[in-house]
Structure 1
Amino acid sequence: MMSNETHVQNGVLGTKVIAQIGILVNDIETVSQAYADFFGVEKPKWNWTDTVDKARTEYKGSASVARSKLAFFDMGSLQLELIEPDQHPSTWRDHLNEHGEGPHHIAFIIEGMKEKVSLMESRNMPLVQKGEYTGGRYAYLDTFKDLKIMLELLENDKK
Structure 2
Amino acid sequence: MEHIENNNLLKVGIVVDDIEKALKAYCGLFGLAMPEIQTPDPNSVQEHTDNSYTWYRGEYITARTKFANLQMGPVTVELMEPFDEPNPWNEFKQKHGPGVHFITFTVNGFQQHINFLEGQGIPLAHKGEYGSGRYGYFDTESLLGVVLGLQELGPKQD
Q: TM-score w.r.t. structure 1 length? A: 0.87
Number of the residue aligned with 2:29 = 38
Q: How many residues align?
A: 149
Matched, 1:77 2:74: yes
| Whole-angstrom distance in 2 between the partners of 1:68 and 1:26 | 11
| Whole-angstrom distance in 1 between the partners of 2:40 and 2:127 | 12
Instruction: Classify 1:30/1:49 alpha carbon distance in 2 versus 1 (closer, same or farther; 3 Å).
Output: same
Gap runs ≥5 in structure 1: 1-6
3-state DSSP of counterpart to 1:19:
strand
CA contact (8 A) 1:138 1:155 kept: yes
| Whole-angstrom distance in 2 between the partners of 1:12 and 1:84 | 32
Structure 1 residue identity aligned to 2:59: S
Q: TM-score w.r.t. structure 2 length? A: 0.88
Number of the residue aligned with 2:12 = 21
Instruction: Classify 1:107/1:39 alpha carbon distance in 2 versus 1 (closer, same or farther; 3 Å).
Output: same
Gap runs ≥5 in structure 2: none
Structure 2 residue identity aligned to 1:145: S
Number of the residue aligned with 1:63 = 60
| Larger mean Cα displacement after TM superposition, 18-27 or 50-59 | 50-59
Structure 2 residue identity aligned to 1:36: C
Runs of 4+ residues deviating >6 angstroms: none
Bigger helix fraction: 1
Number of the residue aligned with 1:126 = 123
3-state DSSP of counterpart to 1:132:
strand
Q: Offset at 1:133?
A: 2.5
2:46 counterpart (52, 72, 76): 52
Number of the residue aligned with 1:3 = none
Structure 1 residue identity aligned to 2:123: P
Percent of aligned pairs with the same amino acid? 34
Number of the residue aligned with 1:4 = none
Q: Following superposition of structure 1 onto structure 2, how do residues 128-147 of structure 1 map, counting pairs within 5 Å? A: 128-147=125-144
| Larger mean Cα displacement after TM superposition, 100-109 or 44-53 | 44-53
Q: In angstroms, what is the RMSD of aligned CA positions? A: 1.7
